[in-house]
Amino acid sequence: MTDRVLDSAKFIAEHSDYVSIPYHHIDRATDRIIKSMDQREYSTKTWNQHALNPKKLDHTTVDWIFLVDLLNFSFWSDLDSADRATAHPDRYAVEYKGVSYTGYWSLCAAINRALESGIPVTDPTWLSKASHDELAMIFKSDTKEQVPMLNERIELMQHAGQVLCQHFQGSFGHCIEQANHSAQRLIDLLLTYFPSFRDIHTFNHRKVYILKRAQIMVADLWACFDGKSYGQFDDIDTITMFADYRVPQALYYLGLLEYNTALKAKLIKGDAIVSGSKEELEIRGNSIWVVELVRQRIQERQSKTTINAILIDFYIWDLAKEIQDELTVPTHHTRSCYY
Ligand SMILES: Nc1nc2c(c(CN[C@H]3C=C[C@H](O)[C@@H]3O)cn2[C@@H]2O[C@H](COP(=O)(O)O)[C@@H](O)[C@H]2O)c(=O)[nH]1
Residue 130, Cβ density class (10 Å: 0-12 exposed, 13-18 middle, ≥19 buried) = buried
Indicate if ligand 1 lies below 6 Å from the C-beta of 314: yes
| 186-229 residue pLDDT tens | 999 999 999 999 999 999 999 999 999 999 999 999 999 999 99
* 338 lies in some domain: no
| 102-115 residue pLDDT tens | 999 999 999 999 99
Residue type, 211: L
* 38 lies in some domain: yes
Number of structural domains in the chain: 1
Using DSSP, state whether 207 is helix, strand or coil. Answer: strand
Question: 284-314 as b/e, with b when 16 or more CB fall inside 10 Å?
Answer: bbbbbbbbbbbbebbeeeeeeeebbbbbbbb
Q: Which of 48, 53, 69, 242 maximizes ligand 1 atoms within 8 Å of its Cβ, making it the mutation to test the pocket?
A: 242
* 242 lies in some domain: yes
* 331 lies in some domain: no
| 240-299 residue pLDDT tens | 999 999 999 999 999 999 999 999 999 999 999 999 999 999 999 999 999 999 999 999
Ligand 1 centroid from CA 119, angstroms: 25
d(CA 339, CA 337): 6
* 329 lies in some domain: no
Which protein residue's CA is at the shortest distance from atom 3 of ligand 1?
Answer: 244
Its domain, for residue 224, covers: 4-322
* 327 lies in some domain: no
* 21 lies in some domain: yes
Q: Which neighbouring-strand residues pair with 84?
A: none
pLDDT computed for residue 2 by the predictor: 66
Using DSSP, state whether 200 is helix, strand or coil. Answer: strand
* 59 lies in some domain: yes
Mark out the alpha helices in the chain (DSSP H runs): 4-14, 26-39, 45-49, 59-70, 103-116, 124-129, 132-138, 150-167, 172-179, 183-193, 212-224, 247-253, 261-269, 278-301, 309-322
What is the pTM (predicted TM-score) of this model?
Answer: 0.97
Among candidate residues 27, 244, 271, 318, the one labeled active-site is 244
- Complex ipTM, two decimals? 0.98
Which protein residue's CA is at the shortest distance from atom 7 of ligand 1?
Answer: 104
Indicate if ligand 1 lies below 6 Å from the C-beta of 50: yes
Q: Are residues 276 and 201 in contact, defined by beta-carbon separation less than 8 angstroms? A: yes
Across the chain, mean pLDDT equals 97
Ligand 1 centroid from CA 317, angstroms: 6
| Least confident residue range of 215-224, 302-311, 312-321 | 302-311
